[in-house]
Structures are given as structure tokens and as C-alpha cells.
Amino acid sequence: MSDIKKFMYVNRTAPYGTIYAWESLEVVLIGAAFEQDVSVAFVDDGVFQLAKGQNTTELGIKNFSPTYAALGDYDVNKIYVEKESLEARGLTIDDLMDLKYEDEDDDWAEKDSIHVVTAAELADILEQQEVVFSF
Amino acid sequence: MKFAIQVNEGPYNHEASVSALNFVRAAVDAGHEIFRVFFYHDGVNNGTRYTTPPQDDINIVKAWSELAEKHNMDLVVCVAAAQRRGIVDEGEQERNGKDGNNIAPGFRISGLGQLVEAGIQSDRLVVFGD
């Protein structure tokens, strides 16, 4: 496919309780094969999707959180987390998984995938998108 | 304008499906093109012909099927979401050794790539759901 579009996946729900988070991640992984300009946003309870140390043993359902670490290998390395959503839930970036990617344009230097942005900054980023999936 | 539609909710639990139906009808009436309707999450439940609502209620599945036939519309049910929720066509029945199938006329089961492709090919992607 010749034309590259700016794709953003907006995640708004907690990782467990509903299947939206997991099925969103499945779209992101499949979509990566289409080589679009992909970014992923986490807002509202969606920020919990990136919380580190998730343990679903007692829930009896699959813990899919390790999959987020693979996003860097799929060239999905623009991950935006809304600052206000973190703060409202008593979280900081230190509570989130340390997602990295290797920058092929910078001698494969390891870089952070997660960027904490304000709601206003995220609005600007959203404004630039051509295709927005919301989950 | 060329639209891609994503339906994320089941037909009777949530208004998203009927809203999508109304949107699609209005878009077609206004001369727009619907590139594809993609059913994801519980939205795959829009695609079972076993749905039997009371007679005084709208038959949402049938409405989709009729729309597909009338306008030759591409209605795609996500295979991964469908497998979790028991939406089966003949191919899936054979592959997974099921004793029957329930896909409604006009729907087909395919992969998530169809959703991404719809986003790429269309001028607008409109998502219906929470």
C-alpha cells in the first residue's frame, strides 16, 4: 500500500473487566503489519493498561500485559499517556511498564516509547491523526 | 465520501448497532459510499442468523442482511472476536470442527486486517460503541 496514514489507537478502558483493552491491542499488533504511522494513546482508566506488576491469577483470566513490551518490536513506539488521567488515579510514570524500542535511525539506541502528555498536548496530537480507533 | 464503519457492540444490548444502521442508511441515501462495515468486540453478535427478537421489535440482524443485499455492502465479522463468541460460518465450522454454523446472509468472517485496510482506504472511519 502506497499511502501512509496517521493512525491512532485511543485506549480508554481498564485492562480487565471488559475485553476492549485486549482486543484493542490485537488490532494494534495486526495493524503494525500495514506499516502505517501508528501511535497509541492511553486516557481515563486506559492508563491502567500500562500499569506494571499486573497479576490476574486470582481473577482467573489471562494476563496479557506482557504483550505491550512487544510493541517496540512492531515499530509501535509512539505511546502517549495522558498526564491528567495518571494524576487523577494517583499514578506516575514510575507505576507504568518501562516500554522501550530500538531506534534504527539512531544506531539502534534504546529509547523510551512512553510519553506523558497533557490533555491539551494530546488534543493537538489527536488533531493531526487521519484515522482514530477508540476502544 | 467513502466511509468505513466499525461496530463494537451487540445488537440489542447497546444502541450502537442501530445507530450504525441508521448512519449507514443515511450515508447511502446521501450518495456516499460505504467501503466496509466491520463488526468487532460484541459487535460480531450482529452477524448471527439465529437472532429471533419478538415480532414487535426491530430485527437488527435482518436489517443488516437486507442492507448488504440491496447495496452490495461488505459486512465483515472479525474472526478472532467471532471465535470467542461462537459466530461461525461454513469455513470456520470445518476448521474448528463445529456441528453447525450461524452466520447471517450478507456477512462474512475475516481478519482484523480488513479493519485496518478499511481505515486506510476510506476517507473517514466512524466507530460506533462506548
pLDDT at position A51 over 90: yes
**pLDDT of the residue at A79:** 98
Q: Please list the residues that pair with A115 across neighbouring strands.
A: A80
Nearest-neighbour CA in chain A from B115: distance (Å) = 8
Alpha-carbon distance values, A78 to A13, A82, B11, B26, B48 (Å): 19, 13, 34, 36, 38
Partners of B115 on chain A (C-beta within 8 Å) are: 27
Which three three-digit cell numbers place residue B64? 443488516
Owner of C-alpha cell 474448528: B96
The rounded distance, in Å, linking the Cα atoms of A130 and B125 is: 9
The answer to whether residue A19 neighbours chain B at the CB level (below 8 Å) is yes
B54 is catalytic: no
Nearest to B40 among A23, A31, A131 (CB): A23
Question: pLDDT above 90 covers what percent of chain B?
Answer: 99
Burial of B45: CB neighbours in 10 Å, binned 0-12, 13-18, 19+: buried
SS (H, E, C) A31-76: HHHHCCEEEEEECHHHHHHHECCCCCCCCCCCCCHHHHHHHHHHCC
Question: Please, which pLDDT band fits residue A128 given cuts at 50, 70 and 90?
Answer: very high
Q: How many domains does chain B have?
A: 1
Say yes or no for a CB contact (<8 Å) between B41 and A20: yes
Residues 48-77 of B with CB under 8 A from A: none
pLDDT at position A123 over 90: yes
Q: Which domain holds residue B66?
A: 2-128
Query: For position B58, which CATH number holds?
Result: 3.40.1260.10
pLDDT at position B12 over 70: yes
What are the residues whose beta carbons fall under 8 Å from the beta carbon of B31, sequence distance 6 or more?
none
Strands A131-134 and A37-42: unpaired
pLDDT at position A1 over 60: no
Question: pLDDT above 70 covers what percent of chain B?
Answer: 100
The answer to whether residue A5 neighbours chain B at the CB level (below 8 Å) is yes
Catalytic residue among B63, B68, B78, B79: B78
The answer to whether residue B105 neighbours chain A at the CB level (below 8 Å) is no
Over chain A, what is the mean pLDDT?
95
pLDDT at position B85 over 70: yes
Say yes or no for a CB contact (<8 Å) between B112 and A31: yes
**pLDDT of the residue at A127:** 97
Cβ contact A32:A80 at 8 Å: no
Q: Where are the alpha helices (DSSP H) in B5-102?
A: 16-29, 60-71, 79-85, 90-95
**pLDDT of the residue at A2:** 53
Over chain B, what is the mean pLDDT?
97
Question: Please, which pLDDT band fits residue B130 given cuts at 50, 70 and 90?
Answer: confident
The rounded distance, in Å, linking the Cα atoms of B108 and B79 is: 9
Question: Which domains are assigned to chain A?
Answer: 6-134 (3.40.1260.10)
Tens of pLDDT, residue by residue over A67-99, are 999 999 999 999 999 999 999 999 999 999 999
The answer to whether residue A2 neighbours chain B at the CB level (below 8 Å) is no
Tens of pLDDT, residue by residue over B89-129, are 999 999 999 999 999 999 999 999 999 999 999 999 999 99
Question: Please, which pLDDT band fits residue A3 given cuts at 50, 70 and 90?
Answer: confident
Q: How many angstroms separate the most distant Cα atoms in chain A?
A: 47
Residues 74-93 of B with CB under 8 A from A: 80-81, 84
